[in-house]
Amino acid sequence: MPTLGSINLLKSKATASVLPQGVEASLNRFAIASVMVLCVVGICVSAAFFYLRFEHDALTAKKDEYSNEIINNSVKEGLQSAIKERMVMTAKVLKVRKPYALLLDSIGIVAPPGKLTNVSVDETGKTRITIRASSIEETIDMANAIIALTKEGKFKGPDLTSFQFGKSNDVLFTVSFVPVL
């Protein structure tokens, strides 16, 4: 009810809050703290953003500068990549080349040129040699030489594929093996 002499129906001053004093003060402090934290975080994030943006621009400029330099040196780059590519391929080519002269040297240990009738190497590397020996003893010596070369690791898997004994005691025989080059 309005007091006497006052026309205000509403009270001009708030009456004491119904909330306990401690709760209201905590709410107040919490609100101020949240605003302060918000401001601090906002300032930090903004500062970091602008610094990173500046760094980004500087890096982009550097990248463009280096890119232009690389484009200016594109002939060198082309030459370099062509050499590198060719070297990789050339190394592979060198690996597949086989020094068959060394094979002939090894075969020469088994049979001298006069005794050798045929030497053939197929695409898989399998070698067949045909030898004409003048006697059985000579044939045995040659066979022993092949066995010795196999033990040395120069030949692999020797195999006697044919053997002909002639009227004049001469022997024509063929041995196949895989040379290790």
Partner 1 sequence: MKDLQKLFIQYQKAVISVGILLFSVIALFVGVIPSFKTTIALFHENKTLQDEVSALALKTDSLHSMSEEDLRSKLTLATSAVPSDKQIPSLFDAIEILVSRSKVSLEDLSLDSNQAISSDSAKRQVKEDKTIGAPLIGFTVMLKGGYADLRSFLSEIVSVRRFFRVRFFDLTFQNESSGQMRVGADAFYFPLPTTIPGVAAKLQLLSGDDEDLLKKISVYPWLAETVSAPLTPTVYEPKVNPFGQ
Cα 127 from Cα 142, distance rounded (Å): 16
Least Å distance, CB 47 to partner 1, is 10
Least Å distance, CB 6 to partner 1, is 16
Burial class (CB in 10 A: 0-12, 13-18, 19+), 120: exposed
Q: Which of 3, 8, 59, 106 binds partner 1 (CB under 8 A)?
A: 59
Q: Which of 4, 8, 22, 71 binds partner 1 (CB under 8 A)?
A: 71
Q: Applying CB under 8 A, does 147 fall inside the site for partner 1?
A: no
Count CB neighbours of 177 within 10 A: 21
Rank residues 31 and 147 by Cβ distance to partner 1 and give the closer one: 31
Please give the residues from 79 up to 138 whose contact with partner 1 meets the rule CB under 8 A: 79-87, 89-94, 96-101, 104-105, 113-114, 116-123
Q: Applying CB under 8 A, does 4 fall inside the site for partner 1?
A: no
Least Å distance, CB 25 to partner 1, is 9
Mention every residue, 6+ apart, whose C-beta is less than 8 A from residue 154: 106, 179, 180
Least Å distance, CB 23 to partner 1, is 8
The SS3 of residue 52 is helix
Rank residues 65 and 151 by Cβ distance to partner 1 and give the closer one: 65
Mention every residue, 6+ apart, whose C-beta is less than 8 A from residue 135: 169, 170, 171
Count the site residues for partner 1 by CB under 8 A.
76
* CB-CB contact of 139 with 119 (8 Å): no
Tokens of 62: 């550097």
Please give the residues from 7 up to 26 whose contact with partner 1 meets the rule CB under 8 A: 10-11, 14-15, 17-19, 23-24
